[in-house]
Amino acid sequence: MKVIQNLVPTSKYSIKCPNSMTAEFIVVHNTANDATAVNEIAYMIRNDNQVSFHYAIDDQEVVQGILENRNSWNAGDGGSGNGNRKGIAIEICYSKSGGEKFIAAEKLAAEFIAFKLKEKGWNISKVKKHQDFSGKYCPHRTLDMGWQRFLDMISSHLSDPGTRIMGTNVATAAQLKAYLLSKNPNPKINLDLDQFCKLWISESAAEGVRGDISFCQACHETGYFNYGGIVLPDQNNYGGIGAINGNAEGNAASFDSPQIGIRASIQHLKSYGSKDPLVNAIVDPRFQLVTRGIAPNFEDLGGRWAYPGYDKKKYSSLNAAKAAGDTYGHYIMKKYDDLIKIKVQDPDPLPDPKPDPILDPLKDQREASIKEVEQLLQSVIKILQSIN
C-alpha cells in the first residue's frame, strides 16, 4: 500500500484545518468526479474554499493532504459538528463514472481503513459515512453498491487471526538444521546439531506447542545462536528468559542441559498460548508469572515476551507497529516464512517400493499354448526330414 503526502501548507491552515483534533472515527466520502488522488488533493490545497479532507484514495495510492491531528471541513455539519471536528475524512476517487478504477479505489480504501482501525485500536463501528452527519447522499456510489458490502470489505482485512502458538509442527528437524546453518555455519550449541533440532521437535510436540516457530524465536533471541547479548551460550537459555533489558551479561536464567533449555522455552510459550496444564514437570522459572493464555498467537507476543516489542523510532505505539505487521512476533514469523521454504532431503528416506507384480491370469494358458506350438513345429520338422 503506497501512502504519499502532499500537505496543506501552514499558511492555509486557517482556511483548511484551523482546529487541532483528536480523531475519534473515520468519515467515508466519494469524490463525485474522475480525478486522481494526487489531483484531488492538489485541487483541495489550491482553492480557497472551506472544503477539505485528510486523504484521497484512487486505484494506485493513498494521498494525505492534512495531518490527522488537524480538523477538516468535510462533513457539512458546521463549525462544531462532530464530522468536521472529530473525523478523519477519506475521499474515494473515480466515483462519477465508476467502473474498474472505482472498484479498485474502493478496494484500496477498504485496505487502508482497516490499517487505520488496527493502528488506532478501533473496531468497525468507527467507520462512518458523510451521510451520517449532514444527510447528504455521500459516498454516493459506495452507497449505491451497498454500504454493508463496503464495511464487510474492511472487516475482511481486520479478521487476521495470526498464528497460534499451540499446534502441530509443520517444519521438520532437518529443515530447522538447514535453516540455522544457512544463517550461521557455526552455531554455539552445546549439543550435536541434529540431536538439538530433533529435540526441538519432540519437546514441543509433547506440549502441543509449535516448536518449529519456537525455534525461529530462539534464532531471533540468540542471533542465530551467535549470542552477544545478556545471555551466554553455556546458559542453554534460548528464549531470553529472565534477560531483562539492562541486565548485566549472564544475568538471566540458566538451564542444566540443552534439552532442559528447550523445554523451558516451550513451557514459557505454552504459558502465553494456552491454559492447558504442562505435560512435563515445570522447568521454566517464570512460568507462574504469566497470565495463562493471554497471548494465543505469536503475533501477540510483542510487548509481552519482549518489551517494548517494536521499534519505537519507527512507530508511535505498539498498535501502530502491529497494524504494519512489524512487532516482535512478526519478526519471528518472517524467519519462519523463510525456514518453511527450505527443501531438504529426508534424512531417512523409505526404501524404494518394489513394483507391484503384474497379475496375469492367462499366463499358464499362454505358456501351454507355446508348448503346443513348439511340439507341432517339431512334428512338422520330423515330417519334412522324413520326406527328404
138 vs 153, beta carbon nearer Zn ion: 138
54 vs 210, beta carbon nearer Zn ion: 54
92 vs 339, beta carbon nearer Zn ion: 92
CA distance 263 to 279: 11
74 vs 265, beta carbon nearer Zn ion: 74
Shortest separation between residue 138's beta carbon and Zn ion, angstroms: 3
Cell output for 214: 519456537
130 vs 268, beta carbon nearer Zn ion: 130
Shortest separation between residue 241's beta carbon and Zn ion, angstroms: 53
CA distance 239 to 262: 9
> If you count them, how many residues does the chain have?
388
Shortest separation between residue 38's beta carbon and Zn ion, angstroms: 19
Shortest separation between residue 130's beta carbon and Zn ion, angstroms: 3
Residues 6+ apart with CB under 8 A from 280: 206, 207, 263, 267
Q: Burial letters for 357-369: b for 16+ Cβ neighbours within 10 Å, e otherwise?
A: eeeeeeeeeeeee
Site residues, Zn ion (CB under 5 A): 29, 130, 138
Cell output for 382: 520330423
Strand boundaries in 53-170, DSSP class E:
55-57, 62-64, 87-92, 127-129
CA distance 301 to 172: 24
Shortest separation between residue 128's beta carbon and Zn ion, angstroms: 11
Shortest separation between residue 180's beta carbon and Zn ion, angstroms: 55
56 vs 266, beta carbon nearer Zn ion: 56
Cell output for 43: 485541487
Q: At what angle do helices 147-158 and 100-120 cross, to 10 degrees?
A: 50
